[in-house]
Amino acid sequence: MKKKIIITAGPTNERIDSVMKITNMSTGAIGGVFAESFLEDKEEKIEKIFYITTKMSYKPRITSKKIEYVIIESTQDLINALEKIFNENKIDIVIHSAAVGDYAGKYSINAEDLVDEIMDLIHNTKITEITKERLMSIFENPRSIEDNSGKMSSYQPHLMTMLTLTPKVIGKIKKFDPEVKLVGFKLLDGVSKEKLLEVATNLRNKNNADYIVANDLSKIGGGKHWAMIVGKDGIVCECQTKKQIAKAIEDILF
């Protein structure tokens, strides 16, 4: 039976207004290397690769009718795309290499407006009734936020944006199909191998992933991309390049 595969790659982009967005430095290159490796070595065993990524991210340097590109922007777009694909297909493998942003913009506000609202609370409330919860309620839902449906003015010296957490995409994948083989990714920076293993193991267990590719940013660059692949019994192998990572996962899953 030929396999249907999902590869997610690149950063998500979370909108602040019609021009500004929150993103990260991911290029999506490792997702592209996975697609290239799979199609070069296992094309006869692949029915389709759904390649979910953003418009400006790296794309696989291979032409194949077996790749279907799904272009997204935000974390919610990614979730919606995954849900649609799972509803319409029996997926065998998910390579979830997308660098999903941790935060999205909740609202933007002028600092002066926020201060005015806090001062109104102080002036109109007994001091003994001003609590942390009442102050936090202002931050959660201020009365005077900026209209972000278009481009906000670039002449506001004290513009503030409140951030909110994005949904954890990896935690939803096995809920779409518990039988799918899930490869997740974890990136830390300048930590010990033991710490990285601990974090990757916790991520794997929490999200019922089959494998986690654990990376250390301090060991990426100059053509090198050290990583260890973590499975249920610990470290499966260590790799030194993106190509080696893709080949190792390929050998495990095919």
Domain ranges, ordered by start, for the chain: 3-102+168-253, 105-165
Torsion angle defined by CA atoms of residues 39, 40, 45 and 47, in that order, rounded to the nearest 10 degrees: 20
- Under 8 Å CB-to-CB from 140, ≥6 apart: which residues? none
Cα 115 from Cα 119, distance rounded (Å): 6
pTM above 0.85, yes or no: yes
- Each residue's pLDDT tens digit, 122-147: 999 998 899 999 999 999 999 999 99
- Each residue's pLDDT tens digit, 147-161: 999 998 888 899 999
**CA dist list (Å): 243 to 33, 47, 192, 249:** 6, 22, 23, 10
Mean pLDDT of 63-67: 96
Residue 214: its pLDDT value, please? 98
- Under 8 Å CB-to-CB from 95, ≥6 apart: which residues? 5, 6, 7, 8, 31, 34, 183, 249
Cα 82 from Cα 89, distance rounded (Å): 10
Cα 73 from Cα 89, distance rounded (Å): 22
Percentage, residues of the chain above pLDDT 70:
100
Confidence of residue 10 (pLDDT cuts 50, 70, 90): very high
- Each residue's pLDDT tens digit, 73-115: 999 999 999 999 999 999 999 999 999 999 999 999 999 999 9
According to DSSP, the residues that pair with 11 across neighbouring strands are: 99
Classify domain 3-102+168-253 at the CATH superfamily level: CoaB-like (3.40.50.10300)
Does the pLDDT value for residue 68 go beyond 90?
Answer: yes
Confidence of residue 244 (pLDDT cuts 50, 70, 90): very high
Q: Which stretches does DSSP call E strand in the chain? A: 3-8, 14-15, 21-22, 46-53, 67-71, 93-96, 103-110, 159-165, 181-188, 211-221, 224-231, 234-239
DSSP percent split of the chain into helix, strand, coil, nearest 5: 35, 30, 35
**CA dist list (Å): 119 to 112, 144, 214:** 10, 14, 48
